[in-house]
């Protein structure tokens, strides 16, 4: 009970900081929404795009799914990294460590906060896809996209925490996050159909977290029946998440790195 | 001063070791604490204790080992040798219940600038089982009128007061203050001292590191002076000063008077320093003064700029750390 209360207090604290900082809102919402509007508009005439070998889906399902996954990685991965590194370098984490707050409540607060932000992003993206581009989003597809988002938050939070040990400044965090996300997006069928990429590159991307997430969201939105459920997505993101948390457990530091 | 400083440096002024076994009233017990960073012993065989309800000062230059010592007591660093007990617990093995009774003001820390003072304090208050009221805490540190201000808009001194507010919001039994007034202007520093004295009145035990002697003299019930990782003097500031003992008499050397003639006039060996003659006396200050004044009265020689000076904590500090010339 106390743990939940403290986790929610942390999440509310983060949410307030998020809403008061223009940069995070631009990065997390405006950028994916803008890309969705532009790319869907440019490629609408294409009709269908090959989301995977022999799997043609509508341009709007391709971009609504792919860019939601992109926004989710951009927001969570960058957001957690920036939040943790800034708090650590400011001595804020050290202060937490010296307080009676259980360390897990800080982590839970980060996850709850990112879940809220991600669900917000999903809602905005789905509304635009539906209202502007007449994508028919079935309830079951919406639920599936929500579930994939939770999986994505879990996975990207873990990876972000795992690499904070080598990210020494908040500035570094806020450049590493978008750079990694945008680079990965090109190989993961987010901006461009994957068949435009070399075969070996898409093979590698299959084992990185963004490609399965994007593809699952795309197929959930494109399918006319079911959710397009893919076990592969849960396995790949699950392994990345568990390994990420395990590494974070070993390497995470509460004290500032600079001295 | 040389003989004196060597006596202080040799540790002859250090009071009796703290191991009196009276743990009932000691909130902190430190015995033979040692912490090395590579070859450097940052803390070298340090022992002291802090009694309940007192303000204990750790003085020393930068790099003397104050912060390392306090960070071991806060649980952030692990000692290589020796023991440290805070409220009867080894800080690096402490669980959350122990942290509930401890308050920290770290040497350096910053806030997320977008939150208000009120919001920042509320978050911290939620961690503790018996927090102080936020507005009461703000009043204690003199920030009531800044409650709704974003932390990023505060001055350095005001931010430091937020730090102190976060340190005391949990009703701590023991409060650690690591150089709390560095960067304060003199007015802010005085106001801060009042806050700390208020905490002592409500029974909080406080460990304070500082390199302001005036602050230590005003606030600390007892203090320890550290140099190169060791405690070189310990006691109340009054005891340390009187242990230093010597009083200086100085005045401007009158024209046509040789320094050497002062020996027969006043019965003391004055030395000439710049324009002034001075002597350092352990005892017999009154006799020397009396003879000087009688000489002045009978001969009509004016004793310009006459001073009788007791040593300050600063002199004790400089003597103990071997920093005087």
- Return the higher-pLDDT residue of B120 and B281: B120
Domain of B214: which CATH number?
A: 3.40.50.300
d(CA A135, CA A149): 19
Q: Could you tell me if residue B325 is inside a domain?
A: no
In the prediction, which pLDDT does A224 show? 80
If asked whether residues B121 and B101 sit together in one domain, one would say: yes
Nearest C-alpha neighbor of B229 from the set B45, B11, B6, B79: B45
Q: Which range, of B26-35, B102-111, B146-155, averages the lowest pLDDT?
A: B102-111
B190 lies within 8 A of chain A by CB: no
A5 touches chain B (CB under 8 A): yes
Provide, rounded to the nearest whole percent, the portion of chain A with pLDDT above 90: 61
Q: Does B238 share its domain with B254?
A: no
CA distance A225 to A203: 28
Region of poorest pLDDT, from A56-70, A190-204, B66-80, B162-176: A190-204
A contact residues 93-112, partner B, Cβ 8 Å cutoff: 94-95, 97-102
Percent of chain B with pLDDT over 70: 91
Residue B130, chain A, CB below 8 Å: the answer is: no
Examine residue A258 and state whether it is found in any structural domain, yes or no. Answer: no
Nearest to A90 among B74, B111, B124 (CB): B111
* Chain-chain contact of B97 with A100 (C-beta, under 8 angstroms): yes
Tell me if A257 is assigned to some domain.
Answer: no
Q: What span, in angstroms and rounded, lies between the C-alpha atoms of A161 and B287?
A: 74
Considering the domain architecture, whether residues B94 and B198 belong to the same structural domain is answered as yes
| Average pLDDT taken over every residue of chain A | 89
Q: pLDDT tens digit string along A144-155?
A: 999 999 999 999
- Domain that residue A224 falls in: 2-251
Domain shared by B114 and B138, yes or no: yes
Please check whether residue B106 touches A, CB under 8 A.
yes
Of A52 and B303, the one with more pLDDT: B303
Contact A6 B106 (CB under 8 A): no
**How is residue B95 written in tokens?**
């669980």
Please give the pLDDT value at position B126.
93
Smallest Cβ–Cβ distance between A101 and the set B109, B110, B127 belongs to: B127
Q: Is B6 helix (H, G, I), strand (E, B) or coil?
A: helix
Q: Is A63 within a domain?
A: yes
Integer Cα distance of B193 and B177 in angstroms: 12
Give every strand in the sheet of B230-235, ordered side by side: B102-105, B174-178, B205-210, B55-59, B222-227, B230-235
- Residue B30 in tokens: 């430190």
Going by the DSSP 8-state scheme, the letter that residue B255 receives in this structure is T
- More confidently predicted of B265 and A54: B265
Q: How far apart are the first and last CA of chain B?
A: 10
Predicted structure pTM score: 0.83
Average pLDDT over residues A193-208: 86
Minimum-distance CB partner of B127 among A16, A87, A99: A99
Count of domains forming chain B = 2
Token pair 């307030």 in the structure block, residue:
A16
pLDDT exceeds cutoff 60 at B54: yes
**Helices marked H in chain A:** 2-20, 22-25, 31-43, 59-73, 79-89, 92-97, 103-131, 139-163, 170-187, 199-205, 210-222, 231-251
Cβ-in-10-Å burial (0-12, 13-18, 19+) of A15 comes to middle
Q: Is residue A256 part of a domain?
A: no
Say if B104 is an interface residue toward chain A (CB within 8 Å).
yes
- More confident site: A199 or A100: A100
pLDDT band of A54, cuts 50, 70, 90: low
Q: Which of A16, A87, A97 sits opposite B119 (nearest CB)?
A: A16
Concatenating the DSSP letter of every residue in B120-137 gives HHHHHHTTSSSPPPHHHH
Residues B178, B54 within the same domain: yes
**A123: contact with B, CB 8 A cutoff:** no
Task: Tell me whether residue B88 is in a domain.
Answer: yes
Q: What is the mean pLDDT of residues A75-86?
A: 93
Interface-testing mutation among B127, B160, B169, B207, with chain A (most A C-beta atoms within 10 A):
B127
Q: Give the best residue of B91, B109, B129 to mutate against chain A (max A CB count within 10 A).
A: B109
B128 and chain A in contact, CB less than 8 A: yes
- Interchain contact B148–A (C-beta under 8 A): no
In a domain, B317, yes or no: no
Supply the range of the domain harboring residue B276.
246-311
Nearest-10 Cα torsion for A145, A148, A152, A155: 180
Q: Which residues have C-beta within 8 Å of that of residue B24, sequence separation ≥ 6?
A: none
* Least confident residue range of A71-80, B89-98, B186-195, B237-246: B237-246
Q: Which of these three, B226, B242, B258, is where a domain ends? A: B242
Residues in chain B with CB shorter than 8 Å from the CB of A256 are: 108
A91 touches chain B (CB under 8 A): yes
Instruction: Write down the H helix ranges in B185-232.
Output: 186-201, 213-219
Report if residue B322 sits inside a domain.
no
Query: Of the ranges A27-41, B135-149, B200-214, which one carries the lowest mean pLDDT score?
Result: A27-41
CB A18, CB A113: distance < 8 Å: yes
B74 touches chain A (CB under 8 A): yes
A6 close contact with B: CB closer than 8 A:
yes
A121 inside domain: yes
Name which of A156, A111, A151, A136 is nearest A220 in CA terms: A136
Please check whether residues B115 and B164 belong to one and the same domain. Answer: yes
More confident residue, A258 or A233: A233
Task: Give residue A242's pLDDT.
Answer: 96
Which residues in chain A are closer than 8 Å to B109, comparing Cβ atoms?
90-92, 94-95
Q: Which residues contact A202 (CB under 8 A, 6 or more apart)?
A: A187, A189, A194, A211
Q: Which residues of chain A does B100 touch, with a Cβ-Cβ cutoff of 8 Å?
A: 100
Total count of domains within chain A:
1
Please say which residue of B188, B220, B242 terminates a domain: B242
Token digits for A52?
A: 């995977």
- Among the three residues B189, B209, B242, which one is the final residue of a domain in this structure? B242
Of the candidates B305, B223, B230, the one whose C-alpha atom is nearest the C-alpha of residue B55 is B223
Looking at CA atoms only, how far is residue B103 from chain A in angstroms? 8
Q: What is the pLDDT of residues B216-252, one digit of tens each?
A: 989 999 999 998 899 988 888 888 877 777 788 888 8
Task: Please check whether residues B69 and B96 belong to one and the same domain.
Answer: yes
Could you tell me if B207 and B83 lie in one domain? Answer: yes
CA dihedral for A20, B183, A93, B199, sign (positive or negative): negative
Q: Is the pLDDT of residue B311 over 70?
A: yes
The beta-carbon neighbor of B106 closest among A13, A20, A95 is: A95
For residue A101, pLDDT over 70 is answered with yes
Q: Using the beta-carbon criterion (under 8 Å), do B110 and A90 form an inter-chain contact?
A: yes
| A29 domain residue, yes or no | yes
> Which of A11, A13, A23, A98 has the highest number of chain B CBs within 10 A, making it the mutation to test binding with B?
A98
Higher pLDDT, A122 or B61: A122
Q: How far apart are CA A85 and CA B86, in angstroms?
A: 30
Can you give the CATH number for the domain in which B267 is found? 3.30.70
- Tell me, yes or no, whether A116 lies in a domain: yes
Question: Does residue B166 sit in the same domain as residue B102?
Answer: yes
* Cα distances (Å, whole numbers) of residue A17 to A5, A102, A116, B40: 19, 21, 14, 42
Q: Which residues of A touch B149 (CB under 8 A)?
A: none
Q: Are residues B218 and B160 in the same domain?
A: yes
Find the CB nearest B112 among A9, A92, A98: A92
Per-residue pLDDT at B191:
84
Structure tokens at A247: 């590494």
Q: Chain-wide mean pLDDT for chain B?
A: 85
Nearest to A90 among B97, B102, B109 (CB): B109
> Is B41 inside a domain boundary?
yes
* Among candidates A16, A21, A99 on the partner chain, residue whose Cβ is nearest the Cβ of B124: A99
Lowest mean pLDDT: which of A201-210, A219-228, B287-296?
A: A219-228
Confidence at B10, pLDDT banded by 50, 70, 90: very low
Chain B CB contacts of A255 under 8 Å are 76
């Amino acid at each position: 009970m106390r743990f939940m209360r403290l986790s929610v207090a942390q999440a509310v604290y983060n949410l307030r900081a998020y809403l008061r900082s223009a940069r995070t809102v631009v990065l997390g919402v405006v950028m994916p929404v803008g890309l969705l509007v532009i790319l869907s508009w440019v490629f609408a005439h294409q009709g269908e795009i090959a989301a995977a070998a022999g799997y043609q889906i509508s341009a709007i399902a391709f971009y609504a799914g792919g860019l939601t996954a992109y926004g989710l990685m951009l927001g969570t991965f960058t957001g957690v990294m920036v939040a943790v590194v800034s708090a650590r370098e400011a001595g804020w984490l050290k202060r937490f460590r010296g307080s009676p707050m259980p360390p897990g409540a800080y982590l839970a607060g980060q996850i709850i906060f990112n879940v809220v932000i991600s669900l917000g992003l999903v809602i905005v993206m789905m509304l635009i896809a539906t209202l502007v581009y007449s994508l028919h989003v079935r309830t079951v597809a919406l639920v599936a996209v929500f579930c994939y988002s939770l999986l994505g938050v879990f996975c990207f939070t873990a990876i972000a925490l795992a690499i904070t040990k080598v990210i020494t400044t908040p500035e570094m965090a806020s450049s590493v996050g978008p750079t990694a996300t945008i680079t990965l997006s090109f190989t993961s069928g987010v901006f461009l159909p994957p068949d435009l990429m070399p075969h070996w590159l898409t093979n590698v991307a299959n084992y990185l977290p963004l490609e399965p997430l994007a593809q699952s969201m795309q197929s959930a939105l494109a399918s006319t029946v079911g959710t397009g459920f893919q076990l592969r997505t849960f396995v790949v993101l699950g392994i990345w998440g568990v390994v990420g948390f395990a590494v974070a457990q070993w390497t995470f530091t509460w004290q500032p790195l600079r001295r | 001063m040389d003989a004196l400083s060597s006596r202080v440096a040799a540790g002859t002024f250090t009071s009796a070791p703290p191991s009196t076994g009276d743990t009932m009233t000691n909130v902190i017990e430190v015995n033979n604490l040692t912490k090395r960073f590579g070859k450097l012993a940052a803390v070298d065989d340090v022992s002291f204790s802090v009694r309940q309800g007192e303000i204990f000062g750790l003085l020393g230059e930068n790099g003397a080992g104050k912060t390392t010592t306090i960070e071991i007591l806060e649980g952030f660093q692990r000692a290589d040798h020796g023991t440290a007990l805070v409220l009867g617990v080894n800080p690096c093995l402490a669980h959350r219940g122990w942290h509930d009774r401890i308050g920290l003001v770290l040497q350096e820390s910053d806030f997320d600038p977008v939150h208000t003072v009120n919001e920042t304090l509320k978050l911290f208050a939620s961690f503790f089982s018996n927090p102080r009221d936020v507005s009461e805490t703000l009043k204690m540190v003199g920030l009531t009128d800044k409650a709704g201000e974003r932390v990023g808009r505060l001055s350095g001194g005001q931010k430091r007061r937020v730090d102190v507010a976060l340190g005391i919001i949990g009703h701590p039994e023991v409060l650690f203050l690591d150089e709390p007034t560095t960067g304060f202007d003199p007015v802010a520093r005085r106001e801060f001292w009042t806050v700390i004295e208020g905490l002592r009145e409500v029974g909080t035990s406080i460990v304070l590191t500082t390199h302001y002697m005036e602050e230590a003299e005003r606030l600390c019930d007892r203090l320890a002076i550290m140099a190169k990782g060791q405690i070189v003097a310990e006691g109340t500031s009054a005891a340390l000063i009187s242990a230093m003992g010597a009083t200086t008499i100085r005045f401007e050397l009158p024209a046509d008077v040789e320094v050497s003639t002062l020996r027969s006039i006043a019965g003391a060996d004055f030395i000439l320093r710049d324009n002034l003659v001075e002597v350092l006396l352990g005892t017999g200050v009154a006799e020397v003064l009396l003879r000087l004044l009688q000489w002045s009265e009978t001969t009509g020689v004016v004793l310009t700029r006459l001073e009788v000076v007791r040593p300050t904590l600063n002199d004790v500090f400089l003597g103990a750390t071997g920093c005087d010339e």
